[in-house]
Amino acid sequence: MLVLASTVATLGCSARQSASTQAALTAAPGEDRRERLFVDSVLAGMTLEEKVGQLNQLSGLGAPTGPGGAPAGIEQIRRGEVGSFLNVVGRDTVVRLQRIAVEQSRTHIPLLFALDVIHGFRTTFPVPLAEASSWDPAAVQRSARIAAAEAAAQGISWTFAPMVDIARDPRWGRIVEGSGEDPYLGAIMAAARVRGFQGSSLRDPGTIAATAKHFAAYGAAEGGRDYNIADVPERTLRDVYLPPFQAAVCAGAQTLMAAFNEIDGVPAHAHKRLLTDILRGEWGFDGAVVSDWTGIGELLNHGIGGDSASVGTLALNAGVDIDMVSEIFRKQLPSLVRAGSVAPQTLDEAVRRVLRLKYRLGLFQNPYRVGDSAHVQGVGLSAENREAAREVARASIVLLKNDRNTLPLSKDLGTLAVIGELAADSGAAIGNWSALGRGADAVSVLTGIRRAVSPRTRVVHERGASPMDDDSTGIAGAVRIAMEADAIVLVLGESPLQSAEAASRADVGLPGAQLRLAQAIAATGKPVVVVLMNGRPLAIQWLHDNVPAIVETWFLGVEHGTATADVLFGDYNPGGKLAATFPRVTGQVPIYYNHRNTGRPPTSEKYTSKYIDVPWSPLYPFGHGLSYTTFRHGTPRASATTMRPADTLRVEVDVTNAGRVAGDEVVQLYIRDDVGTVTRPVRELRGFRRVRLAPGETRTIVFAIHVQDLAFHDAALARVAEPGTFTVFVGGSSASTNQLRFRLETADGNPVRVPGTCAGVRETLLDISNPGQ
């Protein structure tokens, strides 16, 4: 029996459809019931092998993202042995393969086409860690929306993004792919990216399904070493690492990806408590879980399950629905189901989730989703998209230091020396995970500077040193041009190859001979501005001590050089804030602002928690970022000195631009639970707002505090808010001492339970237009 085909004869596809399927599409009065009837009607007509095929994901064309994957054959599509592809890109290729699935397979079920669309598709936006430093979720949502439209036009229906892993250790290379160290900021950005990718309706052909990854605690890898274990207590898991995932689920994320790591001895791909009990039971998630690349097969390396059949059983029973490239499900599940080792109902439920995703994407109605050739050509690296990338890039730049008002530079200098290999590297500008972005389309720092300065300014460049090797032979030439210059822009940092997946670093200082280069240039006595390009916080104590101005630009994408020049020459006043703490030395990591206290907090006394060779404090704290103007924060005011669980406490603060130029300030609100039944962080971010103020302008910023902002998991792992005093800090970084105090009172003096489901997630967490309002 022919179970299903497209209902629309798009691009020449003939429409074939069973009567039961047609009835399911047209007769059901509600969308949920319509979806259920439709999916069940498709499932009922499938053979065991066809069901298993829906759980099989293979890598096609494109660069592999891990070992062990082999391209699929056309016959596998015809036999219904594959349900989705990754790394197949391009309208014509997608249409050709989709036509085989819907016209030549027995079930006519369309394929899913997935790709790692991380920070842009054809138009490359800043890497996620940079975008998080904008503290502007509306801009982040816009960049994801543009990326989705570009990817969808080329046949992509599903992205493996956003990565929402909290990362407290900058040695871990994949910190560049997420939003940094804080669960609140991470949750806000997770929701923004999901909404950007998925839009208001997944049936809009310009949207793609989002994947929150890597579930969970992947960013807690021991030693910052990628793929390593994560030894995380459940309270820390729930209070720190899970909130961004729950925010993504509550924002509508259709899929999650399991993590490579283990948690407390159980690998994530076999973690039923995580994938089923928490994700589906507590949070009500009804989407699909995809493995990471060969993640199911790698359970053998973890040492659980003695063969492929065993680990396939463990993964499916735990809640993994889609097997990425290992083909263990395809090869093992049919015999396991027939032998009774895997319950048919378990298999059916996994298949339902895959079919449900395809239904929600509208693939059964329009399996091709892409427009005609003219439409595809009009969606891509347009002037409008480049301008959007420039806007986000400028907002993501963080001014770390600016002594003696070294910045902004004049555009009318005699000679400006630009030094550093990265300065001329447009390929580095687009960063890693760049999809179809091309370095040739990107603006390097050197090009951006040359375009920005006056025709009378002579711009000279020398390589100096590379981050990729220890060759110092270019330093002498760099010193020579520095001696001739009126000012120097020294571009230092990392190659994109030194961050992201499989790129952990034991030393997060400047790689290669770059520190020697910096020391030689600083010794010239000329004004020096350091521009950093990097994918993680770096240990740059020497630069801080010896260079007057430091600008953190990360990898900003296709308009990197333009945005950097905008900031260097004062056309844009930087307003970004750090989403991750900068250590003084690598030996301080992991280092993060929302740590818990010890019995001997660090002081000048000897027997306290500190180092004897470096200060215990960070070089630059979370939330740090300077401006070309000065902002003054007034004393915060609360609407009451006590609140009850049902109350909303309003906190107001007057923020004044006390300088001479307009600028953006990110006003941040932190809360400390002064006394708890378990130890609590010294402070936690619970609100922020990026505001633009004219010179002399004062604005009153209002934050709303709800009982959810005071909640945590107690000794019994119940999510509660406990009565007592709380200290609120409001200012321009996590180091602010501008504070007030209030008390939470409960009717009986006992803790109150705070729901942990989506219904209990604060609306402000998902309200990306005015976070904290």
Catalogue the active-site residues.
Answer: 292
The DSSP call for residue 587 is G
Which residue type does 632 have?
A: R
Question: Which residues, in sequence order, are bridge partners of residue 416?
Answer: 459, 487
Map residue 443 onto helix, strand or coil: coil
Reading the block at residue 358, the tokens are: 């395809």
Q: CA separation (Å) from 24 to 19, 29, 360?
A: 9, 10, 14
Q: How many CB atoms lie within 10 A of CB 690?
A: 20
Helix%, strand%, coil% for the chain, nearest 5: 35, 20, 45
422 Rama class: left (phi>0) / alpha (psi -120 to 50) / beta: alpha
Q: Which residue has the tokens 């300088």?
A: 659
Ordered DSSP codes for 147-163: HHHHHHHTT--EE---B
Looking only at the bridges linking them, the beta strands covering 642-643 and 739-744 are: parallel
130, containing H or E segment: helix 128-132
Map residue 475 onto helix, strand or coil: helix
Q: Does residue 680 contact residue 673 with C-beta atoms inside 8 Å?
A: yes
Q: Does residue 117 contact residue 147 with C-beta atoms inside 8 Å?
A: yes
**CA gyration radius for the chain?**
27
Question: What distance in Å separates the CA atoms of residue 773 and residue 702, rounded to the nearest whole number?
Answer: 6
429, containing H or E segment: helix 426-429
Question: Which residues, in sequence order, are bridge partners of residue 656?
Answer: 632, 698
Ordered DSSP codes for 55-86: TEEEE-SS--SSSS--PPPHHHHHTT--SEEE
Q: Does residue 596 contact residue 682 with C-beta atoms inside 8 Å?
A: yes
| Residue 727 CB contacts under 8 Å (≥ 6 apart), including other chains | 671, 672, 674, 683, 739, 740, 741
Q: Which residue has the tokens 């005699």?
A: 414
Question: What distance in Å separates the CA atoms of residue 52 and residue 55, rounded to the nearest whole number?
Answer: 5
Q: CA separation (Å) from 539 to 256, 544, 587, 619?
A: 33, 10, 10, 8
Alpha carbon 612 to its chain centroid, in Å, reads 36
Helix residue ranges, H only, 532-656:
541-546, 560-568
Question: What distance in Å separates the CA atoms of residue 498 and residue 502, rounded to the nearest whole number?
Answer: 9
Map residue 539 onto helix, strand or coil: coil
Question: What distance in Å separates the CA atoms of residue 365 and residue 34, rounded to the nearest whole number?
Answer: 14
Ordered DSSP codes for 315-365: HHHHT--BEESS-HHHHHHHHHHHTTSS-HHHHHHHHHHHHHHHHHTTTTT
